[in-house]
């Protein structure tokens, strides 16, 4: 897919922890990575994806592109029954710059979404967006394609859905993040339309898939009073219950 990804500046300068209803972790004297940095357990799935994409790119080079040929989106081979090509292109890249741009974008957005939704939901959103992007590309474009940008657009769509659905919790912060995401999306759409190498079908399909996954998986916070508990609590009322967060005190 295209190299645009969700570019730098996709989020305003808010700390990743501030996007959770509970805020960030305290750092007081604890050794190890700082919250939001590579190696922080709260962003473990993002780090696995970053490292995995880099390792697979190395395999692409070492195999003299055999891995690329095996996994790239080629419509005729998908029709012939090679359904894995609706997922594998999201883990392959065309060149080093393609990998670097998508890794930067994933590192920019991934930890925020993972910290907000949890690692399990984040991975499901990423994979759903990857498949949705490749399905859209399959139906909309005859050209071969590869790259993580459709999945990354999906993470952007998931973040937008989260803040849209939780505006009553985050208030003004939701407006700031949504405005920033829309501006970044518009820039990427304009860039994609100006560059015939960009797979816009993959980008838009990925964004839709990520947003739909976030709509179903949540979190969708509601302020309630719990029996036997003092004060207001935030309860995750996501439509699909599998990864719902535990209730937490409202700030």
Residues with catalytic function: 149, 203
The Cβ of residue 195 has, within 10 Å, a number of other Cβ atoms equal to: 12
CA distances to 104, 107, 201 from 8, rounded to whole Å, are 8, 10, 21
Is residue 89 a contact partner of residue 71, using CB atoms and an 8 Å limit? yes
Burial degree of 186 (CB within 10 A; 0-12, 13-18, 19+) = exposed
Distance of alpha carbon 73 from alpha carbon 142, whole angstroms: 10
Give SS3 for 59: helix
The answer for residues whose C-beta is within 8 angstroms of residue 139's C-beta and 6 or more apart is 201
Is residue 128 a contact partner of residue 150, using CB atoms and an 8 Å limit? no
């Amino acid at each position: 897919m295209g190299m645009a990804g969700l570019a730098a500046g996709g989020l305003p300068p808010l700390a990743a922890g501030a996007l959770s209803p509970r805020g960030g972790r305290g750092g007081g004297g604890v050794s190890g990575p700082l919250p939001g940095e590579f190696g922080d357990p709260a962003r473990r799935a993002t780090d696995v994806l970053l490292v995995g994409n880099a390792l697979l790119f190395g395999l692409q080079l070492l195999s003299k592109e055999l891995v690329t040929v095996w996994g790239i989106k080629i419509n005729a081979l998908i029709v012939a029954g090679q359904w894995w090509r609706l997922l594998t292109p999201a883990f392959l890249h065309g060149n080093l710059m393609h990998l670097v741009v998508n890794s930067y974008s994933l590192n920019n957005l991934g930890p925020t979404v993972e910290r907000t939704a949890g690692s399990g939901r984040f991975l499901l959103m990423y994979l759903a967006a990857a498949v949705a992007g490749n399905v859209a590309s399959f139906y909309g474009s005859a050209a071969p394609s590869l790259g993580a940008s459709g999945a990354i657009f999906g993470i952007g769509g998931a973040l937008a859905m989260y803040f849209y659905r939780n505006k009553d919790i985050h208030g003004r912060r939701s407006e700031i993040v949504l405005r920033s995401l829309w501006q970044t999306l518009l820039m990427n759409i304009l860039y994609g339309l100006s560059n015939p190498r960009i797979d816009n079908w993959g980008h838009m399909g990925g964004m839709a898939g990520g947003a739909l996954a976030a709509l179903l998986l949540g979190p969708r916070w509601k302020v309630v009073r719990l029996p036997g508990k003092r004060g207001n609590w935030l309860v995750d009322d996501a439509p699909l219950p599998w990864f719902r967060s535990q209730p937490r005190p409202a700030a």
